[in-house]
Homo-oligomer: A and B are copies of this chain.
């Protein structure tokens, strides 16, 4: 049971995430890579800014990581998330799961993303030329 969580303003690296997940005992690795879209909700986006409650993010991720490992029988859970300014086209998040079988890896990775978007205290601000919007905060 291994977990690898990082919250930082550094660029994310798919190669090192994949390397950490790769092993001769787990046949299947599923990775989700979230990139910043140039438009959302019908508006052109200038860039994103992420904020995190870092101590709580880590505790929540450890809790959900243990849950995921138990529920889906997977061996490794990874989440690397950017904070602060992230430009259009850049990668804001990489989530990864390693498991003996692919079905569980897909389900667990999808579940982890679900929790990221509802439970993990990270907030996304979309910045436009004429203002900004905190995603999910208001209608």
A residues apposed to B, CB below 8 Å: 14-15, 18, 21-39, 88-89, 91, 100, 102-103, 105-106, 109-110, 113
Q: In whole angstroms, how far apart are the Cα atoms of A22 and B25 in the complex?
A: 29
Please determine whether B33 and A22 come into contact, CB atoms closer than 8 angstroms.
yes
| In the complex, chain B residues whose CB is within 8 Å of the CB of A32 | 28-31, 102, 105-106
Which 5 A-B residue pairings sit nearest by Cβ, starting from the closest? A29-B33, A24-B38, A24-B89, A31-B31, A14-B18
Number of copies: 2
Please determine whether B31 and A26 come into contact, CB atoms closer than 8 angstroms.
no
Q: A106-B106, A109-B106 are in contact. Are A28 and B22 (CB under 8 A)?
A: no
| In the complex, chain B residues whose CB is within 8 Å of the CB of A22 | 33, 35, 89, 91
Q: In whole angstroms, how far apart are the Cα atoms of A36 and B26 in the complex?
A: 8
13 A-B pairs besides A24-B35, A28-B33 with CB distance below 8 A are A21-B33, A24-B36, A24-B38, A24-B89, A26-B37, A27-B35, A28-B32, A30-B30, A30-B31, A30-B33, A37-B100, A106-B106, A106-B110
